[in-house]
């Protein structure tokens, strides 16, 4: 059997139901010359059963189990089994539009050189009730911490800060020397860190294709902000130790300013009158907590 042109790697942990829908959407793609690799990162639910039930829909399918070691490790493990010349990373809660994989492939065909990566667009799924908090999460101009696609409006290229592994494809040769750094155990930064290394050492060029759309089927509430930002804070310190030249940690004056805007009186006023600023200030409060924990 001839190896497929592309490999789709999906790390997952205890989300069997949405993984099934993710695989269903892959089975409906207009471009079908791909291998699917599900890397089960130590799940205790029906992830293996769901994966097996969908495996018959794909000529090239592989289920890989590992002990729980995090998404970066899971993606690296998936790469060991990849046969395609192009790797597409997606999240287990990303439901791709029927033409999304084709959109990635067309961009790679347009730019055949090995140093190319392609960023697809991620939107909230129409079934998900999008709250003010979720809208802030995806507003780069307001300091949202999930995605910042609004900053790419009208652009065809992006820098390493947009190396989002929810929907991104890259030539496999670019990843022969560079893997996800497994020092990142908390949420955040491991994908951006890889993007930075690829840009710096391999001169990677990241193209943006807004027509390669994936829908994020995941409800995120305000209660998760504390854990999310503490994790980002811890991960940002690890990032800084590896790449101090980027100065990703706030200097003392900025830490002081962030501390001031995240005090309760300011937060109470912001919550009443400026919701986006409230979420921004609250996120910085928890970020500072994370910075102190490492």
Q: State whether 86 and 150 are in the same domain.
A: yes
Q: State whether 254 and 178 are in the same domain.
A: no
Highest mean pLDDT of the ranges 31-45, 135-149, 178-192, 245-259 = 31-45
Distance between CA atoms of residues 286 and 231, nearest Å? 9
Does a structural domain hold residue 1?
no
Q: State whether 198 and 267 are in the same domain.
A: no
pLDDT at 188: 76
Q: State whether 27 and 169 are in the same domain.
A: yes
pTM: 0.90
Q: State whether 44 and 67 are in the same domain.
A: yes
Domain that holds residue 34: 6-216
Of the candidates 258, 228, 207, the residue with the CA atom closest to the CA atom of residue 105: 207
DSSP 175: G
Residue that terminates a domain, selected from 185, 216, 247: 216
Does a structural domain hold residue 110?
yes
Distance between CA atoms of residues 248 and 250, nearest Å? 6
Residues 6+ apart with CB under 8 A from 26: 8, 34, 36, 58, 96, 101
Q: Comparing 40-49, 129-138, 150-159, 204-213, which segment has the lowest mean pLDDT? A: 129-138
Of the candidates 277, 279, 284, 232, the residue with the CA atom closest to the CA atom of residue 258: 284
Looking at residue 201, which CATH number applies to its domain?
3.90.550.10
Please answer whether residues 41 and 72 qualify as being in contact, where contact means their C-beta atoms are separated by less than 8 angstroms. Answer: no
pLDDT over 80 at 144, yes or no: yes
Question: CB neighbours (10 Å) of residue 98?
Answer: 12
Question: CB neighbours (10 Å) of residue 36?
Answer: 25
Does a structural domain hold residue 282?
yes
pLDDT over 60 at 231, yes or no: yes
Q: State whether 99 and 233 are in the same domain.
A: no
Of the candidates 87, 48, 250, 271, the residue with the CA atom closest to the CA atom of residue 174: 87
Q: State whether 254 and 180 are in the same domain.
A: no
Residue that terminates a domain, selected from 216, 233, 249: 216
Residue that terminates a domain, selected from 162, 187, 216: 216
Q: State whether 46 and 179 are in the same domain.
A: yes
Q: State whether 95 and 180 are in the same domain.
A: yes
Q: State whether 120 and 144 are in the same domain.
A: yes
DSSP 93: T
240 HSE (CA, 13 A, CB side): 13
pLDDT over 90 at 33, yes or no: yes
Domain count, the chain: 2
* Average pLDDT for 145-166: 95
Distance between CA atoms of residues 286 and 262, nearest Å? 9
Provide the 3-class DSSP secondary structure of residue 117: strand
Q: State whether 264 and 182 are in the same domain.
A: no
pLDDT over 80 at 115, yes or no: yes
DSSP 251: P
pLDDT at 212: 98
């Amino acid at each position: 059997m001839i190896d497929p042109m592309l490999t789709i790697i999906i790390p997952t942990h205890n989300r069997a139901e949405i993984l099934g829908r993710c695989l269903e959407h892959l089975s409906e793609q207009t471009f079908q010359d791909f291998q699917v690799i599900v890397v089960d990162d130590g799940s205790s639910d029906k992830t293996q059963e769901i994966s097996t039930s969908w495996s018959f829909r794909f000529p090239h399918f592989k289920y890989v189990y590992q002990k729980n070691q995090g998404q970066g490790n899971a993606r690296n493990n998936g790469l060991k089994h990849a046969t395609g010349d192009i790797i597409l990373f997606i999240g287990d809660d990303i439901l791709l539009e029927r033409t999304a994989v084709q959109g990635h492939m067309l961009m790679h065909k347009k730019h055949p050189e090995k140093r190319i990566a392609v960023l697809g667009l991620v939107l909230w799924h129409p079934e998900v009730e999008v709250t003010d908090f979720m809208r802030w999460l995806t507003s780069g101009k307001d300091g949202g911490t999930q995605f910042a696609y609004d900053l790419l409006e009208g652009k065809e290229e992006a820098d390493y800060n947009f190396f989002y592994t929810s929907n991104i494809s890259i030539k496999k040769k670019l990843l022969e020397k560079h893997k996800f750094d497994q020092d990142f155990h908390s949420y955040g930064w491991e994908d951006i860190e890889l993007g930075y290394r690829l840009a710096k050492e391999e001169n990677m060029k990241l193209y943006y294709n807004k027509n390669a759309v994936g829908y994020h089927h995941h409800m995120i509430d305000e209660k998760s902000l504390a854990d999310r930002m503490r994790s980002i804070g811890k991960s940002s310190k690890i990032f800084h130790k590896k790449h101090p030249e980027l100065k990703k940690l706030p200097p003392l004056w900025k830490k002081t300013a962030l501390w001031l805007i995240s005090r309760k009186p300011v937060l109470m006023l912001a919550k009443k009158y400026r919701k986006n600023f409230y979420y921004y200030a609250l996120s910085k409060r928890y970020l500072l907590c994370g910075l102190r924990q490492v």
